[in-house]
């Protein structure tokens, strides 16, 4: 067995050592992961990436398994990539969105989870505006639960796909410097990414208006700067969306979007040659990111979307299989 295939054998760590519901494993937060977990997941994702280069992209790995995607908040990238990831691995999938479901009639999250749990899904992927919603689902169903974004708290698979995309592009993670620019206050992407970059030995500077950088966030092991010039020192400039849906009504975080764009927008003039630019999407072109930057060859935004598919395949695989000892991992993962 090659070392690369051997790393597929482990499994995700369980938060707090003892998950709700016994021995099931969940991915609720980047805090659930060790550096070894991250390395294993990225290696597994790379292996799936090679399998997707083949003409026939479907693998038999999760045949007979069921993945429920439960989206209580809008999503394009995360919902589509989880669904496609499950399909590429031959799992049965269902995607339930709040709009058009019984949530419209007032059904609670717990009752929704209990209802879908009655079908015995193996995995429930959940996005919800409330922090802690994935933990609630983990506590009242028998499924493995993956957090696809809960409020401004966590979006662990986004952080993993960002690491994957950076390593694909730059060949390494350790020692890199990433500037995360914009609305950190409301960003689950930023919180997850800061933790994930720390795990792999990269450094982070958060850059933005004082009102959009949480006080004391340096305790997570990052630097803070309020001047956009601080992005000049970074290898990667990671641009965050202004998350108006999470902003308190009437609160003045910035004088205006025009002023925000003028002072903190990422433009070609503010970048130096060789810097890579990332954005989790969806973008507000002309607000936090200049369209010339978004469409430039040094923008990794398309790579991030592609990474989302293979990383989510790896997460589903890792939760549902650990490959019995003695069986070649290549057979376990279904890659010939």
> Active site residue: 25, 26, 40, 155, which one?
155
* Nearest to ligand CP of 125, 224 (CB atom): 125
What residues numbered 38-97 form the site for ligand CP, per CB under 6 A? 75-78
Helix (H) or strand (E) holding 190: helix 188-199
Q: Are 238 and 283 in contact (CB under 8 A)?
A: no
Query: Helix (H, G, I), strand (E, B), or coil: what is residue 318?
Result: helix
Q: Are 202 and 174 in contact (CB under 8 A)?
A: yes
What residues numbered 106-145 form the site for ligand CP, per CB under 6 A? none
- Catalytic residue at 77? yes
Q: Is the peptide bond before 108 cis (omega within 30 degrees of 0)?
A: no
Q: Min. distance of Cβ 77 from ligand CP in angstroms?
A: 4
* Nearest to ligand CP of 121, 149 (CB atom): 149
> Active site residue: 9, 25, 40, 127, which one?
127
Nearest CA among 245, 271, 100 for reference residue 183:
245
Nearest CA among 201, 66, 79 for reference residue 122:
66
> Active site residue: 61, 78, 93, 141, which one?
78
Q: Are 179 and 238 in contact (CB under 8 A)?
A: yes
Site size for ligand CP (CB under 6 A): 9
Structure-block tokens of residue 56: 């026939």
What residues numbered 170-199 form the site for ligand CP, per CB under 6 A? none
Q: Min. distance of Cβ 75 from ligand CP in angstroms?
A: 3
Query: What's the DSSP call for residue 241?
Result: P
Q: Min. distance of Cβ 194 from ligand CP in angstroms?
A: 16
Q: Min. distance of Cβ 78 from ligand CP in angstroms?
A: 3
* Nearest to ligand CP of 34, 76 (CB atom): 76
Nearest CA among 282, 266, 289, 25 for reference residue 147:
25
**Pattern 250-289, binding to ligand CP, x per CB under 6 A?**
------------------------------xxx-------
Q: Are 144 and 24 in contact (CB under 8 A)?
A: yes
* Nearest to ligand CP of 77, 270 (CB atom): 77
Spatial distance between the Cα atoms of 234 and 81, rounded to a whole number of angstroms: 29
Query: What's the DSSP call for residue 280?
Result: -
* Nearest to ligand CP of 40, 312 (CB atom): 312
158 near ligand CP, rule: CB under 6 A: yes
Q: Min. distance of Cβ 36 from ligand CP in angstroms?
A: 25
Q: Min. distance of Cβ 161 from ligand CP in angstroms?
A: 9
- Catalytic residue at 127? yes
- Catalytic residue at 306? no
Structure-block tokens of residue 286: 């002309």
Q: Are 133 and 120 in contact (CB under 8 A)?
A: no
Nearest CA among 211, 214, 208, 210 for reference residue 230:
208
- Catalytic residue at 78? yes
What are the residues binding ligand CP (CB under 6 A)?
75-78, 149, 158, 280-282
Which residues have a catalytic role annotated?
Answer: 77-78, 105, 127, 155
């Amino acid at each position: 067995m090659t070392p690369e295939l051997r790393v597929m054998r482990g499994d995700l760590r369980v938060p707090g050592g003892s998950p709700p519901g016994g021995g099931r494993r969940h991915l609720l937060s980047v805090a659930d992961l060790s550096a070894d977990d991250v390395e294993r997941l990225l290696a597994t994702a790379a292996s799936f990436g090679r399998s997707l280069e083949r003409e026939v992209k479907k693998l038999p790995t999760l045949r007979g398994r069921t993945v429920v995607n439960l989206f209580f908040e809008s999503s394009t990238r995360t919902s589509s990539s989880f669904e496609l990831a499950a399909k590429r691995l031959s799992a049965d999938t269902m995607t339930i969105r709040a709009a058009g479901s019984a949530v419209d009639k007032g059904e609670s999250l717990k009752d929704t989870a209990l209802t879908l749990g009655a079908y015995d899904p193996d995995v429930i992927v959940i996005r919800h505006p409330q922090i802690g919603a994935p933990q609630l689902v983990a506590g009242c169903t028998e499924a493995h639960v993956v957090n696809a974004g809960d409020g401004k708290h966590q979006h662990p698979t986004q952080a993993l796909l960002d690491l994957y995309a950076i390593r694909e592009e730059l060949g390494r993670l350790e020692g890199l410097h990433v500037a995360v620019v914009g609305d950190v206050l409301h960003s689950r992407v930023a919180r997850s990414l800061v933790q994930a970059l720390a795990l792999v030995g990269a450094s982070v500077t958060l850059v933005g208006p004082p009102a959009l950088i949480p006080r004391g966030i340096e305790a997570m092991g990052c630097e803070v700067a309020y001047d956009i010039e601080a992005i000049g020192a970074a290898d990667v400039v990671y641009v965050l969306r202004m998350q108006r849906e999470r902003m308190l009504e009437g609160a003045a975080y910035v004088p205006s979007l025009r002023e925000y764009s003028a002072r903190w927008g990422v433009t070609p003039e503010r970048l130096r040659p060789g810097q890579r630019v990332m954005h989790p999407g969806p973008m507000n072109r002309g607000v936090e990111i200049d369209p010339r930057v978004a469409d430039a060859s040094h923008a990794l935004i398309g790579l991030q979307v592609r990474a989302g598919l293979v990383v989510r395949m790896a997460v589903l695989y890792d939760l549902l299989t650990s490959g019995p000892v003695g069986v070649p991992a290549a057979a376990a993962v279904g890659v010939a």
